[in-house]
Structure 1
Amino acid sequence: MTSFLRSDRSRPVAIWLFAVAALVLAMVVVGGATRLTDSGLSITEWKPVAGALPPMSAEDWAQEFARYKEIPQYQQVNKGMTLEAFKAIYWWEWSHRLLGRLVGAAFAIPFVYFLVRRELPRRLIVRCAGLFLLGGLQGAIGWWMVASGLSDRVTVAPERLAVHLGLAFALLGALVWTALDAWAGAPRQTVPNPWNRGAWALIGLIFFQILLGALVAGNDAGFVYNDWPLMNGAVFPKDYAGQGLWGTLAHSQAAVQFNHRIVAYLLTAVGVVMSWVAWRSPLPDGAKALALATGLAIVLQALLGVLTLVFAVPIGLGMAHQIMAAIVLSLAVAFAWRVRRP
């Protein structure tokens, strides 16, 4: 029977992986809103199973609120917060964690189903198992990030936020690539293509910029230097230097925002040039269209970044900026995947 034969490709598997990628994107967006509303420390315990249920009674809410009152964020920032105000931030963090659980279930259950029915292409089995483990690691890193803000800080450590966000985007890119492989099957032949390295270099630059953006978010650096193209009237911020090299690169508000700006200019220039060169090259039409879409998305993201900064990161623009980052990375991944095929 055909159900017991593993073909080289599977459209249902591809649709499943694209759907999981969409859920990862939703989780990134909700995570961004959680960060912008300072909600990430509202749940002070990690209960992967029992934590799926929110507080169900007044007593439960009182206990959750009491635990929150013990951490520095409440004592130094939110002293006197009402229970209703606490519930508002609690629901953001709970929703973020719930989405994480949904992503895990949405991956694991169909994975087992396709595996049992032998409908998962053999060459993708190990890769999909790796994606599942990567998703589990993301949950552990999420708690590692939250834990950094429960004792000596009023927010999570910016570098841990960068690891958490970076892994989410890496998972998103890997899901998109694997979904495309499942949809189209293995390439019939691999031909030398000078665009391979260039496409991967673009992905690397986009990913680096995403990490820099996470440092900006982790340091609340979008709320300072809200003029553009200068920074408080200067090309180079006077307080760029922090305490040591790491203190500058990871914890100085001026430094992380300046670095994010400079790499944005570089990425925009590289994206536009690569799109233009690709459009005039003998690449297949599909690859040309993806190159052009990637370049346009990068330009739009740069403009959105300026607006987000100038308006001091309102939640709507901040979330849109994060969504656009995911779109830019996904398009770049699709472009890199396409240029590998003759």
Structure 2
Amino acid sequence: MTSLPVSEARTERHAVFVWLMSVTALVFLMVVVGGITRLTESGLSMVEWRPVTGWLPPLSEAAWQAEFDKYRAFPEYQKINRGMSLAEFQMIYAWEFGHRLLGRIIGLAFFLPMVFFIVTGRIRVREIPWFLFLLLAGGSQGVLGWYMVQSGLIDNPDVSQYRLAAHLGLAFAIFALLLLTAFKIRAEGRPMQPVGPGFRLPTTAFAALVFLQIVVGAFVAGTNAGFAFNTWPTMDGDLVPPYLFDTVPWWLAFFEDITTIQFTHRMMAYLIVLVGLWMMIAGRRSGGSAKRAGAAAFHTLLLQVVIGIATLLAVVPVWLGAVHQATALLLWAASLVALRVAWVSPSPRKR
């Protein structure tokens, strides 16, 4: 079999890169829409999961009424939204339907081009298991999403914060895997600038803390902790609020006590700023791509901190909460870029 010229091979692989970046952008949109769905309390409006047949919304007044009747049989309507009109139901249904439809579109946008690229050889044989794993990860996200919704269709009309954190964490993990795979393909045959080993430790710590903060943020959302202590820099006048860890056993407070959860989210942010500053300084010492990646990640972090404080002080309006979630994705992407620069780039040669 004759190998393709280097320029032609790069062009064909570039198509795979563009495809992966397009799917990554769709996942970005999916996470933001999911955040809006949560903030508008729309996630429990669809009480059935029809992954194959659920492509179309209700198309007649009778069909809408049937969906509304199903919703009214569950606790969210009975305990929170009793008396809701059909028009109001259609508004929350639209967000949840859009979220699920976008998930289906992402599935097709990944699967169909993947098959084409495998058949045409643009995805290499040794890469096929990895791309099948990515497909499986995306499918499992849909299953996990329904598992999360089920937790809110019982006596307490709110989804489990544990399942919400798992759902959001997996979404960010899938986003990372897609982005890093795209970066790997884009970098084929291109020399990387040397990066000093001093950049690796702070960058790795920074990325790990950003991901952990995202999971903590899911617990903030899942317990509605963002609607309490809407002051800054204190929490209703206290730098360290009373009743921290006021659970038995104490460690459950990290997951179930809104005071502890919000305090943890704040303290994590301050810690990430310090580690981010360390990373940026280390990047400046290394120079080149490390300097640029470290600075970009740190400045994105500062933007996210400002948006987070504004979201808290404004008592989490939907639009600002959505911006906060979108910026979290940008920060995660920036941290991944820095992480790749730190670990993929060669170390400078010793003289």
Report the identity percentage: 40
- Once the two structures are superposed, residues 252-301 of structure 1 have per-residue CA deviations (whole angstroms, 9 ceiling, x without a partner) of 1111111100101101111122112211x234x12211110000001111
Counterpart of 1:229 in structure 2 is 233
| Distance verdict in 2 for CA 1:253–1:29, change over 3 Å | same
**Which amino acid in the other structure matches residue 87 of structure 1?**
Q
| Distance in 1 between residues matched to 2:166 and 2:62, nearest whole Å | 36
> Is 1:320–2:327 an aligned residue pair?
no
Residue number in structure 2 paired with 1:118: 121
Aligned to 2:274: 269
Q: Please give the TM-score of this superposition, normalised by the length of structure 2.
A: 0.91
TM-score, normalized by length of structure 1? 0.94
Q: Distance in 1 between matches of 2:336 and 2:228?
A: 33
Return the alpha-carbon distance in structure 1 between the equivalents of residues 231 and 252 of structure 2. 24
Are the structure 2 counterparts of residues 245 and 226 from structure 1 closer, same or farther at C-alpha, using a change threshold of 3 Å?
A: same
Q: 1:101 to 1:246 in 2, by over 3 A?
A: farther
The change in CA–CA distance for 1:25 and 1:322 in structure 2 (over 3 A counts) is same
Which whole-Å deviations, capped at 9, do the CAs of 1:70-100 have from their partners, x for residues lacking one? 1111111111111111110000000000111
- The worse-fitting range, judged by mean Cα deviation, of 29-38 and 244-253 is 244-253
TM-superposition CA deviations, 1:119-154 (whole Å, max 9, x none): 124453322221111101100000010000001211
Rounded Cα–Cα distance in structure 2 between residues aligned with 1:165 and 1:310: 24
Quote the residue 1:95 is aligned against. Answer: 98
The match for 2:53 is 50
Q: Which amino acid aligns with 2:151?
A: S
| Native 8 Å contact 2:198 2:282 kept in 1 | no
The equivalent of 2:349 in structure 1 is none
Q: Give the letter aligned to residue 309 of structure 1.
A: L
Please tell me whether the aligned partners of residues 199 and 286 of structure 2 are also in contact (alpha carbons under 8 angstroms): no
Is the Cα contact below 8 Å between 1:39 and 1:89 reproduced in 2?
Answer: yes
Residue in structure 2 matching 1:199, options 176, 188, 203: 203
For 2:202 and 2:73, how far apart are their aligned partners in 1?
50
The answer to whether the 8 Å contact 1:149/1:156 transfers is yes
**3-state SS of 1:289 partner:** helix
Alignment partner of 1:295 is 2:298: yes
Alignment pair present for 1:244 and 2:249: yes
1:194–1:309 Cα change, 3 Å: same
Deviation at residue 209 of structure 1 after TM alignment:
0.1
Letter in 1 for 2:215: L
Whichever residue aligns with residue 249 of structure 1, its letter is: F
Q: Distance in 2 between matches of 1:63 and 1:15?
A: 42
1: CA distance between counterparts of 2:251 and 2:4? 55
Alpha-carbon distance change, 185 to 55 in structure 1, aligned in 2, over 3 angstroms: same
Aligned pairs (5 A) from 1:1-342: 10-185=13-188, 193-240=197-244, 241-245=246-250, 247-279=252-284, 281-283=285-287, 285-339=288-342, 340-342=344-346
> 2:197 and 2:82 mapped to 1: Cα distance?
60
Residue deviations 1:237-265 (CA, integer Å, cap 9, x gap): 22332353454121211111111001011
Measured on the aligned residues, the alpha-carbon RMSD in Å equals 2.2
Alpha-carbon distance between aligned partners in 2 of 1:83 and 1:195, rounded to the nearest angstrom: 56
Range that drifts further, 127-136 or 17-26 = 127-136
SS of the aligned residue for 2:305 comes to helix
Q: 1:4 to 1:127 in 2, by over 3 A?
A: farther
CA contact (8 A) 2:205 2:275 kept: no
Task: Tell me the secondary structure at the aligned position of residue 50 of structure 1.
Answer: coil
- Consecutive unaligned residues in structure 2, runs of 5 or more: 347-351
* SS, match of residue 46 in structure 1: coil
Closer, same or farther: CA 160–245 of 1 in aligned 2, 3 Å? farther
- How many residue pairs get aligned? The number is 340
Give the 3-state SS of the residue equivalent to 2:54 in structure 1: helix
CA separation of 1:54/1:246 partners in 2, compared to 1, >3 Å: closer, same or farther?
farther
SS at match of 1:80: coil
Partners of 1:123 and 1:181 in 2: how far apart? 14
Would the aligned equivalents of 1:21 and 1:176 in 2 still touch at CA under 8 Å?
yes
- Which amino acid is the alignment partner of residue 83 of structure 2? G
Structure 1 gaps of 5+ residues are none
Counterpart contact for 2:283–2:292, Cα < 8 Å:
no
In the superposition, relative to structure 1, how do residues 101 and 218 fare at CA in structure 2: closer, same or farther (>3 Å)?
Answer: same
